[in-house]
Structure 1
Amino acid sequence: MANRSLSYTSFFTILQLLWSYTLYANGCYTSIISFGDSLADTGNLKQLTSELNQPPLHLFLPPYGETFFHEPTGRCSNGRLIIDFIAEYLNLPLVRPFFNGNGGMELGQGVNYAVAFATALNNSFLEARGVYNPITTNISLGVQLEWFKESICANVSDCSHLIEHSLFLMGEIGGNDYNHALLAGKSIDEVGTYVPFVVQTIILAINELVEMGAKTVLVPGNLPIGCSAAYLTLYNSFDSTEYDNLTGCLIQFNKFAEYHNELLVTKLNQIQELHPDANIIYADYYNAAMQFFRSPEKYGFENGALKACCGGGGTFNYNDSILCANPTASVCSKPYTYANWDGLHLTEAAYKVVSKSLLQGPYTVPQFNSLCPTSMLKEGDELSSFMRRSWYTFVTLDLPV
């Protein structure tokens, strides 16, 4: 019996290695390792607050998660996020949060360190400027990177294969460095001085990952925050010149996001030159999303792209005193007809448009589908099917014991 058990293990190990090699050889990845904020958090903050015996935030209550998971998961949307669509595209399991409540982690399946409300900069930098994170625990990018190193790579050589063959998702991160300040009333000029520090923090984290052996890092830019229901509500103006005629978005805040993205791209080009053997991919969240802000009906958003599906009322259905999941808040019956979910986050339908534009369209540099073509993923599906058939055949053989 021991010999048969050993044979099972050996054969399955060979199949796993074959699967991993084929995916990576075709420009794909065996797992996803993610850092970031609420645009990527798949449940870390939910579990953290539970472990700290803190009352659940509105983000952890219905109707969050209603569309796909049919219950709140800690994702800041009605369903899947961009990270989920990337995992599905790569034929990988949805990436589990680092804080998963069971004390264990299958590292080969990927891991997500992103936490809602997280900033790129440490709390101390922002607090020195009068900016405070609603989550008092330090969950910044530097802390997330330490979690990664301590949990997976205390000894880098022990996980070199995992690092080399993983897709690293660096964010989106940095948006909250600005949100926490701008939504608290800081001037856009003052917050603009944070941008070089935010970008440099992101670049240093990427550089550290590449030096540890990461071969592919996907780095998103910021979304067009001037199209956010929260900004449109809090910075409502009677001056029509402050709004884009085509989209109705606030011009100055979108220009702010563009400034961050332009500086980020410049620095990414520099780090790519330093590490020519790595793939540093810029993910243009901004312009991928601007597609439906410019033409919402084209993408099925019959109720427009600016008004929140779930919120406390008003022109854009956003009220910072009556947030989504509040008993007095309203929620739309057809979230797929809205691009905005709760004022600050997008719906699953909107994230799907962004994801498809990144994975199969022109909104990544270099283009993601040139590194991981759909045809190769189909071959991966066939190999996966072959593995399952082979394993079934193997375990049904009458082997000697």
Structure 2
Amino acid sequence: MDSWSCFNVNRWSMVILILINLGLSSVVPGVLGCFPSIFNFGDSLSDTGNLFHTCASDDPSRSCFSPYGDTFFHRPTGRFSDGRLILDFIAESLGLPLLQPYLGVEGKRNISIEEFGNGLNFAVGGATALDASFLREKGVFLVPTNYSLKVQFQWFNDTYSSLCTSSSAATAKCREILSSSLVLVGEIGGNDYNYLFFQRYSLEEVKFFVPLVVQTISSTITELIKLGAKTLIVPGDIPIGCNPLYLKIYENSVRNSENGCLDWLNQFSEYHNKQLQEELERIRARHPYVRIMYADYYNSAMHFFSNASEHFGLTNTMEICLGLKNVTFNEHIKHGVPFFTSCDDPSKYVNWDGLHLTEAAHKLIAMDLLQGSNTSPQTKGLCISKNVATKFLRLD
């Protein structure tokens, strides 16, 4: 069977039925083969190294230092975890190489149309959906970067324009690349809310920003569709009420007696996710031949806090794996003294550093996504490489 055949023969009837039911058989890439590339926008949950290119600055990110990346890469790569991210597992499941950060490629040379065809990652750790200048005007002073979703899309659009508008053939080639690619928009917006909550904005004050965040995501999706995107995954927010950093900040709040999380913060995450899903429905109505899947990171992650030790082997749900050593930046630079210390076995932990998840948790969320149990509509129609799917979908 040739390389375009990602499903074995006895699955064809199921695949065709799914596509007929979705009314997408003529437009969904992956019917005859896997997605050839991925384009991604987001924040630290999917940054594969864009912020890493600021490590030489006077205020480097903690992801520049070990033990970030040690579990899988054995060195820091700019990922905010001990290893791979959800995005990495999606790429592996599709038989694709791990996605290159835009700033890593663009910083070395002009991006060629061939490199563009391999996909790019525009996500940056600390990024917001709303522009940093807007948030600062509203009194949000904790925004550490200017790499908003608008900026990320501008990077994409600048690259697209420089490569794809020189001739009709170039335009057709780029539209073909984008229409056959998998495009992820998010998770994004979580930092907008983080910076507000960290400054102790009230729940009602933070809710004011939700429609603005959702509309920014919606506008970016619409612009990508105009340029040719046909298959998009849009993740929702994770349950921030189970986040150790939030539990510390709001340590006087009453916790859920069963899972130890803060219900009022989780309800806020669900509020954002509901608004986002309703907006995605409106976009689908305007673009019926585009496949837009909502990825329910919230309910995937909530599995950990309800059944962690019983089903997933994640025996530590609320403690942080990463510890901070009492050293200064100068001591670290001059003498190589590690900033951080890691727990003995990150694979038993849900949380890596107080705000981000471990590789083990990322893998389980990715499994949920690829098996279609927490996506709408389900992702089971996605082309998953036969050579890697069986191994990937096991926990060993």
Q: What range is the shorter-chain TM-score in? A: 0.7 to 0.9
In structure 1, distance between residues paired with 2:50 and 2:62: 15
Q: Which residue of 2 aligns with 1:331?
A: 342
Instruction: Specify which of 61, 67, 75 is matched with residue 71 of structure 1.
Output: 75
1:50-61 superposed matches below 5 A: 50=56, 53-61=57-65
Q: Secondary structure at the match of 2:370?
A: helix
Q: Which residue of 1 aligns with 2:100?
A: 96
Deviations 1:96-139 (A, max 9, x none): 00011432541221100000000000112211111134434x21
Aligned residues: 345
Q: Is the 8 A contact 1:32 1:166 kept in 2?
A: yes
Q: Is the 8 A contact 2:128 2:192 kept in 1?
A: yes
TM superposition shift of 1:183: 1.3
Is 2:136 the counterpart of 1:132? no
Q: Is the 8 A contact 1:153 1:159 kept in 2?
A: no
1:350-389 superposed matches below 5 A: 350-372=361-383, 374=384, 377-378=385-386
In structure 1, distance between residues paired with 2:108 and 2:97: 17
Distance 1:210 1:256, change over 3 A: same
AA at the equivalent of 1:102: K
Instruction: Specify which of 205, 215, 240 is matched with residue 200 of structure 1.
Output: 215
TM superposition shift of 1:379: 7.5
Q: Secondary structure at the match of 2:351?
A: coil
Distance 1:22 1:195, change over 3 A: closer
Q: Which residue of 2 aligns with 1:300?
A: 313
Q: Which residue of 2 aligns with 1:340?
A: 351
State the Cα RMSD in Å: 2.5
Deviations 1:303-322 (A, max 9, x none): x2111101349xxxxxxxxx
Q: Which residue of 2 aligns with 1:212?
A: 227
Is 2:49 the counterpart of 1:43? yes
Structure 2, gaps ≥5 residues long: 7-26, 166-170, 326-335, 390-396
In structure 1, distance between residues paired with 2:241 and 2:258: 13
Is 2:160 the counterpart of 1:152? yes
Q: Which residue of 1 aligns with 2:271?
A: 259
Distance 1:215 1:70, change over 3 A: same
Instruction: Specify which of 141, 144, 160 is matched with residue 149 of structure 2.
Output: 141
Q: Secondary structure at the match of 2:38?
A: strand
Q: What fraction of aligned residue pairs are identical, expressed as a percent?
A: 46
TM superposition shift of 1:370: 2.2
Is 2:230 the counterpart of 1:182? no
In structure 1, distance between residues paired with 2:159 and 2:343: 41
Structure 1, gaps ≥5 residues long: 1-14, 314-324, 382-401
AA at the equivalent of 1:299: F
Deviations 1:334-353 (A, max 9, x none): 00010000000000000000
Distance 1:119 1:22, change over 3 A: closer
Instruction: Specify which of 261, 266, 290 is matched with residue 302 of structure 2.
Output: 290
TM superposition shift of 1:371: 3.2
Q: Is the 8 A contact 1:40 1:114 kept in 2?
A: yes
Q: Is the 8 A contact 1:24 1:30 kept in 2?
A: no
Q: Secondary structure at the match of 1:85?
A: helix
Deviations 1:50-105 (A, max 9, x none): 4xx44422221001000000000000000000000000010011000001143254
Q: Which residue of 1 aligns with 2:31?
A: 25
Q: Secondary structure at the match of 2:184?
A: strand
In structure 2, distance between residues paired with 1:93 and 1:252: 39
Instruction: Specify which of 33, 40, 44 is matched with residue 34 of structure 1.
Output: 40
Distance 1:139 1:276, change over 3 A: same
Q: Which residue of 2 aligns with 1:83?
A: 87
Q: Which residue of 2 aligns with 1:123?
A: 132
In structure 1, distance between residues paired with 2:345 and 2:5: 44
Instruction: Specify which of 238, 247, 260 is matched with residue 248 of structure 1.
Output: 260
TM superposition shift of 1:329: 4.7
In structure 1, distance between residues paired with 2:321 and 2:244: 10
Q: Is the 8 A contact 1:65 1:77 kept in 2?
A: yes
TM superposition shift of 1:279: 0.3
In structure 2, distance between residues paired with 1:148 and 1:263: 26
* TM-score relative to the length of structure 1: 0.81
Instruction: Specify which of 156, 166, 177 is matched with residue 162 of structure 1.
Output: 177
TM superposition shift of 1:282: 0.1
AA at the equivalent of 1:114: A
Q: Secondary structure at the match of 1:118?
A: coil
Q: Which residue of 1 aligns with 2:236?
A: 221
Q: Which residue of 2 aligns with 1:396?
A: none
In structure 2, distance between residues paired with 1:29 and 1:64: 29
In structure 2, distance between residues paired with 1:306 and 1:326: 28
In structure 1, distance between residues paired with 2:203 and 2:28: 48
AA at the equivalent of 1:309: C
Distance 1:213 1:380, change over 3 A: farther
In structure 1, distance between residues paired with 2:324 and 2:248: 11
In structure 1, distance between residues paired with 2:28 and 2:251: 53
In structure 2, distance between residues paired with 1:151 and 1:121: 22
